[in-house]
């Protein structure tokens, strides 16, 4: 058999070992409530493991979210393998209200001290293009993204919108390949330059930001795929304050873990795994914050109720969560645990897949959810750090919805 044919056949057989699941949209990942690194999902995974863009196929997606409970992003995007008759690779274009968190899809981004899982920068994204090209048994991908805003009234010129609204220029590269019939590997690296200038003294004073990520898919048995992942990020948010004094603020994090993806029942998905996380913020002058998840354990189930309806639920539990900080020569230490839970559903209408995250109270009283009332979605600090009160007067039955059209 020709060597190229063998590689194609090996890749096809490996793909069959992965569960037949719904589109890996942001709403789906939110409903599973597990880190996105540990499940196959091109639609969201491509923002970290860039070579995933080559496996997505033809699709267009819409992301919609209820902003008052913390879901910020609205987006429209498309992955187009057939553009230019496929002669120049796979092109994908993403128009997003805010940029994906540096290094992740929904619940797959770096977990950051004190308020887990939120991007540090909120400048609206101007453009995001990911290009991919298949090379034998490998997949190459490049990403270029830009977030930008500026103000000039003739007297004052501002670039960006403060330390949390920096202008971003980012570039990344990723490569994935089949080592053998039972093992796939994905590597990715991204660099970003984040700047702001208030037009006065206050402005950015940090270096470049970086993300390194690696994971593998190992077919361990007929219905089990093991997914180990390793990820490191560094974001320098240092700046000059209004007095012109340099303020250090360097964020960094290291994550390592492994999960099993089991095909159960009739193509359903069961995920069970754990990750170890250490994040740190260095403020200079021996002041810092350090957070550890030792470990964070997660479990999720996704099942096909019938050919057009799916249900999913998942949870994370950081059994030993520690948070240490030092300010003004006073050290503080906390030991606790974080628990998070979520549910979701999918409805398939021909070529259109609708994924929705459900309010955890939806199953108890779906009529009240749909008719209105008060909601406590994600109250209690489960992924968001400190407790937040419920938003009075509102029920959000579907706090996040994604629509994915494939052809």
**Nearest CA among 256, 248, 247 for reference residue 279:** 256
CA distances from 393 to 303, 372, 390 (A): 33, 7, 9
Give the CA dihedral 181, 183, 184, 190, nearest 10 degrees: -160
CB 21 within 8 A of CB 301: no
What pairs with residue 300 in β-bridges? 271, 314
Element (H, E) at 346: strand 330-349
Residue 72 has what pLDDT? 56
**Total-model pTM:** 0.85
CA pair distance 59, 195, nearest whole angstrom: 33
CA pair distance 53, 79, nearest whole angstrom: 7
Q: How far apart are the first and last CA of the chain?
A: 31
pLDDT in tens, the chain (407 residues): 555 544 444 444 444 455 545 467 888 988 898 888 999 877 888 999 999 999 999 999 998 875 544 445 688 999 999 898 888 999 999 998 877 777 554 344 444 444 444 577 777 788 899 999 998 889 999 999 998 888 898 888 899 888 888 999 999 999 999 999 999 999 999 999 999 999 889 999 978 899 999 999 999 988 999 999 999 989 999 999 999 999 999 988 899 999 999 999 888 999 999 999 888 899 999 999 998 888 989 999 999 999 999 999 999 888 888 889 999 999 999 898 878 888 999 999 999 999 998 887 777 777 666 665 544 444 333 333 333 334 444 567 788 889 999 99
| Backbone conformation region of residue 265, classed left if phi is above 0, alpha if psi is from -120 to 50, else beta | left
> How, if at all, do strands 239-240 and 246-247 pair?
antiparallel
Other Cβ atoms within 10 Å of 23 Cβ, number: 24
Spatial neighbors of 162 by CB under 8 A, at least 6 apart, are: 196, 198, 202
What pairs with residue 166 in β-bridges? none
CA pair distance 147, 220, nearest whole angstrom: 41
DSSP state letters, 90-145: EEEEEEESSPPPTT-STTTSPP-TTSTT--S--PPEEEEEEEEEEETTEEEEEEEE
**Nearest CA among 261, 274, 332 for reference residue 114:** 332
CA pair distance 110, 88, nearest whole angstrom: 33
| Cα Rg, the chain, nearest whole Å | 22
CB 141 within 8 A of CB 157: no
CA pair distance 267, 19, nearest whole angstrom: 5
Residue 312 has what pLDDT? 95
CA pair distance 280, 287, nearest whole angstrom: 11
For the chain, domains (ranges, CATH) are 3-406 (2.40.160)
Residue 19 has what pLDDT? 52
Would you state the structure tokens that stand for residue 153, as one six-digit string? 């009234």
What pairs with residue 63 in β-bridges? 75, 402
């Amino acid at each position: 058999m020709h060597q190229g044919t063998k590689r194609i056949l090996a890749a096809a057989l490996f793909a069959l070992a992965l569960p037949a699941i719904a589109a890996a949209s942001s709403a789906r990942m939110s409903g599973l409530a597990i880190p996105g690194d540990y499940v196959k999902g091109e639609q969201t995974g491509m923002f970290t493991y860039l070579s995933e863009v080559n496996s997505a196929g033809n699709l267009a997606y819409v992301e919609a979210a209820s902003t008052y409970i913390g879901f910020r992003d609205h987006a429209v995007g498309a992955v187009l393998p057939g553009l230019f008759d496929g002669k120049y690779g796979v092109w994908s274009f993403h128009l997003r209200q805010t940029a994906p968190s540096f290094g992740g899809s929904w619940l797959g981004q770096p977990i950051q001290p004190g308020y887990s899982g939120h991007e540090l920068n909120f400048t609206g994204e101007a453009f995001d293009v990911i290009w991919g090209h298949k090379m034998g048994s490998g997949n190459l991908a490049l990403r270029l993204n830009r977030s930008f805003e500026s103000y000039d009234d003739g007297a004052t010129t501002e670039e960006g919108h403060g330390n949390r609204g920096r202008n971003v220029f980012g570039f990344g590269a990723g490569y994935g390949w089949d080592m053998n019939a039972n093992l796939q590997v994905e590597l990715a690296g991204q660099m970003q330059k984040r700047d702001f200038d208030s037009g006065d003294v206050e402005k950015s004073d940090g270096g470049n930001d970086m993300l390194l990520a690696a994971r593998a898919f190992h077919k361990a048995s007929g219905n089990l795929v093991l997914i180990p992942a390793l990820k490191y990020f560094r974001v320098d948010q240092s700046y000059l304050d209004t007095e012109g004094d340099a303020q250090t603020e360097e964020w960094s994090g290291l994550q390592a873990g492994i999960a099993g993806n089991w095909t159960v029942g009739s193509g359903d998905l069961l995920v069970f795994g754990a990750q170890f996380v250490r994040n740190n913020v260095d403020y200079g002058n021996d002041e810092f914050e350090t957070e550890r998840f030792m470990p964070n354990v997660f479990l999720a189930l996704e099942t096909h109720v019938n050919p057009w309806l799916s249900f999913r639920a998942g949870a994370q539990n950081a059994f030993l969560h520690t948070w240490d900080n030092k300010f003004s020569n006073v050290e503080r230490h906390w030991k606790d645990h974080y628990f998070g839970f979520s549910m979701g559903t999918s409805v398939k209408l021909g070529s259109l897949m609708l994924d929705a995250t459900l309010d955890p109270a939806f199953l108890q009283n779906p009529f009240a959810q749909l008719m209105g009332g008060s909601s406590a979605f994600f109250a209690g600090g489960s992924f968001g750090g400190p407790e937040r009160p419920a938003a009075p007067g509102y029920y959000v039955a579907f706090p996040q919805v994604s629509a994915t059209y494939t052809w």
